[in-house]
Amino acid sequence: MTKTRWYPAQQWHHCAGLSEQTATWLLDSTSLTQRLQLLCPDFFNVEVLTQQWQHPLLSEKAWLEISAQHHVRIREVYLRCKTNAWVFARTVIPPQTLVGKYRRLANLGKHPLGHVLFAERTVQRRAFYVARLTMGHPLYQLATQRLSEKPTMLWARRSIFYLLDKPLLINEIFLPSFQLMLTQQSTGN
């Protein structure tokens, strides 16, 4: 298995095959949820796949600088337009982040995380990183486990948010139906 390289946002041009159109979505610092709702105003929805305590992936442990024994709150969702899953989002929240008013993040249900994060003035978002995920990558496998057809690769981004200096990591993987929608938009179909 080849090692996936996460590029800082300003180096996105090193990601072979990344179009400018897709890059505008990967690198946008506004709320992804809000942008998707603008594209699909009446039919946007969140499908919760899992919301439980478990061990993070190795790369997630490294990004959050937590030990191998650490359990974190994992939330995996599909952000959908009608029945089309556009984005697979995996949020990793260490227990020390889930204190005070942020305890509610442990059980958001179908409520979009983006609404909570972008409504908070104290939230700080660190730089984006982008990657091309292939079939051997754990995030690729998680994102595509419910898809009937598996693409050869997927574009992903990740960033760390700080809530009163306590971190949470968000991975967002753009699925084939989203790429198809972008293509149709650019060709006017």
What's the pTM? 0.93
Query: Where do the structural domains in the chain lie, given as residue ranges?
Result: 21-181
Q: pLDDT by residue for the chain (189 residues), tens digit each?
A: 457 888 888 777 767 777 888 888 988 888 999 999 999 999 999 999 999 999 999 999 999 999 877 899 999 999 999 999 999 999 999 999 999 989 999 999 899 998 888 888 888 888 889 999 999 999 999 999 999 999 999 999 999 999 988 999 999 999 999 988 888 877 766
Architecture of domain 21-181: 3-Layer(aba) Sandwich (3.40)
Q: DSSP labels for the chain?
A: -PPPPPEEGGGGGGSTT--HHHHHHHS--S-HHHHHHHHSTTTEEEEEEEEEEEPPPHHHHHHHT--TT--EEEEEEEEEETTEEEEEEEEEE-GGGS-GGGGGGGG-TTS-HHHHHTT-TTEEE---EEEEEETTSHHHHHHHTT-SS--SEEEEEEEEEEETTEEEEEEEEE-HHHHHHHHHHHHT-
